[in-house]
Amino acid sequence: MSFSCFGDSIDRLIDRLKKLPGIGEKTATRLAFYMLNSSRKEAEELAKSIIDVKEKVSCCSVCFNFSDSDPCKICGNERRDDKTICVVEDPADFLAIEKTGKYKGRYHVLQGVLSPLDGISPQEIRVKELIERLRGGKVKEVIIATNPSVEGEATAIYLAKLIKPMGIEVTRIAYGIPVGGDIEYTDMDTLSRAMEGRRKL
């Protein structure tokens, strides 16, 4: 329990805020005082938006992204390309790719990666649902955009082994040197993959 001298309601707010990721005692106290000093309207809006998120946002039944509606805006958008599906680990990765504006196809959110240490097997993530989607026959290419970590890589290769026999092209996002990077300081592994994945100018 924290040092208490403000009375129960402030302490309770601080305690609640402390539970949020990346927020410690000091930040929680600062946030609590900010809320205390802000107008009633502002506080109500914050409370309402938190409740809204919990009540309205659910999982899209097609791509398993977070969404207000089902199917979500992207799955419901007829102008997007039905022939490609981009597979990502979680909604944050979806957001990053969508922000680039380069990709016009559909998405599939796995909601995790395979991880033996955490006991996360193919049944725990949305693999079965992806395979079901592919059975429709519309899809020509699956782009696997999991993280280039050990788990992400293992998941990518596992999915490729499952999907290739269905006659669908499976591609992996490229590895390489970041824009503005420096070849001299790039690690050997990334550099050798960048050489392998080179392309014609």
Partner 1 sequence: MPLYRTDAIVIRSMDFSESDKIVTFFTRDFGKLRGIAKGAKKSKKRFSNTLELFSYISLLFFQKENLGLARVNNCSIIKAHMEIYKDIEKMAYGSYFIELINELVGEREKNNEVFNLLVDSLSMVNGDKLGEEIARIFEIRLLSLVGYQPQLQGCLTCGHRLSNGEMFWFSSVKGGIVCNRCSHGQGNLSPISPGTLKILLLARDMDLRKIHRLIFSKQALMESKDAITNFIQYQMGKEPNSMKFLKKIHGLS
If one asks whether residue 185 binds partner 1 (CB under 8 A), the answer comes out as yes
If one asks whether residue 190 binds partner 1 (CB under 8 A), the answer comes out as yes
- 98: its two tokens: 């969508």
Residues 155-174 contacting partner 1, CB under 8 A: 157-158
Run of H or E including 200: none
If one asks whether residue 180 binds partner 1 (CB under 8 A), the answer comes out as no
Minimum distance, C-beta of residue 55 to partner 1, in the bound complex (Å): 29
> Is 10 or 157 the residue whose CB approaches partner 1 more closely?
157
Counting Cβ atoms within 10 Å, is residue 32 exposed (0-12), middle (13-18) or buried (19+)?
A: buried
**Pairwise CA distance, residues 125 & 130, whole Å:** 10
**Pairwise CA distance, residues 1 & 194, whole Å:** 52
Minimum distance, C-beta of residue 158 to partner 1, in the bound complex (Å): 5
What is the full DSSP assignment across 116-162?
GGGTB-TTTTTHHHHHHHHTTS---EEEE---SSHHHHHHHHHHHHH
Q: Which residue in the set 44, 68, 118, 196 belongs to the binding site for partner 1 (CB under 8 A)?
A: 118
If one asks whether residue 123 binds partner 1 (CB under 8 A), the answer comes out as yes
Q: Which residue in the set 121, 164, 174, 197 belongs to the binding site for partner 1 (CB under 8 A)?
A: 121
**Pairwise CA distance, residues 65 & 86, whole Å:** 12
Choose the binding region for partner 1 from 40-48, 74-82, 103-111, 179-187 (rule: CB under 8 A).
Answer: 179-187
> Is 119 or 167 the residue whose CB approaches partner 1 more closely?
119
Q: Are 71 and 62 in contact (CB under 8 A)?
A: yes
Choose the binding region for partner 1 from 35-43, 70-78, 87-95, 180-188 (rule: CB under 8 A).
Answer: 180-188
Run of H or E including 81: strand 81-88
Please give the residue ranges that form the binding site for partner 1 (CB under 8 A).
22, 114-123, 148-151, 153-154, 157-158, 178, 182, 185-190
